[in-house]
Amino acid sequence: MIREIHIFRDGETLFEDIIIPNIDLDSNAVMMLVSSSAKKLQEWKIDNLEIERYRYMYMNSHDTQFIVTMDRQASIRKVHEALMGLVSKFMEDYQDLLESGAWKSTDFSSFGSHFRKIVGRIPVKVCLAGHGGTGKTTLLELATLPSQGPPQDYVPTFFGDKALLRGNFDPYVFSMFDLGGQDRFVQEWGKIIRSGSMVVIVSDSTKDNISWTKRVAYPVLRAELPYARIIAVANKQDLKGALSPEEVSKRLGVPAYGMQANKRDFRDRWLELLRMLAFEEIDFHIVGDIEVD
């Protein structure tokens, strides 16, 4: 997922668009560092710098530095292509201005719509993980097949499934990866979840399921997606004896949100949870930082 773009020339900011603010790092200091390194790059060469859970991908063209901030975990190849596309478009529109010196008094804000359009072309990968029968496919269909209503029967997912989800997430579009949670499929997760930006761990809010999640699911997620964002869904809140979301949170070491995925009424809540996770407006964790007893 691409989070920000900054374009600099002669130490001045020509354009910037911050879709999700970075609350962890001193962005000005990072931009100073990265832009000074970008200045030394040959025309059309791309390099990148990783810091914590972020990746700064940068390029230099016509003495102008382009820096895209992305999730460290997301696909480098796709963002690489996006950056090339962005710089080509920028040069198409503004190369003459840059060469004439008129750039100092130019308003580059109309570049924002191109930027956001290109951001929307890379679906943000969201992984639904959890044991068999906890409600992952129910959640997928609750989100992506609104007219049909969530499934009431349990049909185990083989390997995994995926579907595109558009919603109130502009400029982002989500690619929802629904993993097969039966034990024999968990060994396949590593391949399926690669370059995921966000993980939703689905629990049926029972003690047994939570211990399975910690023992079986966490090691795979840690190995493959250490920098991804994660929340938990404490599903099946309607069942007698279901642990409360607070209790599920505490035991899983990840903020958990209550859900009843088999009820249509919960669709808005589910979509809003995904939106808030994407824009970092709710409490979440980073996979590699999960602490469990």
Binding residues for ligand GTP, per CB under 6 A?
130, 132-138, 151-157, 180-182, 235-236, 238-239, 260-262
Which does residue 255 touch among ligand GTP, Mg ion, none (CB within 5 to 8 A, set by kind)? none
Residue 23 touches which of ligand GTP, Mg ion, none (Cβ within 5-8 Å per kind): none
Instruction: Provide the minimum distance between the beta carbon of 259 and ligand GTP in the complex, in angstroms, as a whole number.
Output: 6
Query: Least distance in Å: CB of 255 to ligand GTP?
Result: 18
Our CB check for ligand GTP shows the closer of 65 and 137 to be 137
Report the C-alpha gap between 15 and 62 in whole angstroms: 15
Q: Which is nearer to Mg ion, 29 or 155 (CB)?
A: 155
Least distance to Mg ion, CB of residue 26, Å: 42
To ligand GTP, the closest distance from the beta carbon of 225 in angstroms equals: 18
Smallest gap from Cβ 143 to Mg ion, in A, equals 13
Own/partner contacts of 16-20, CB < 8 Å, gap of 24 or more, are: 17/112, 17/115, 17/116, 19/116, 19/119, 19/171, 20/278, 20/279, 20/280
Q: Which is nearer to ligand GTP, 55 or 136 (CB)?
A: 136
Nearer to Mg ion, 72 or 162 (CB): 162
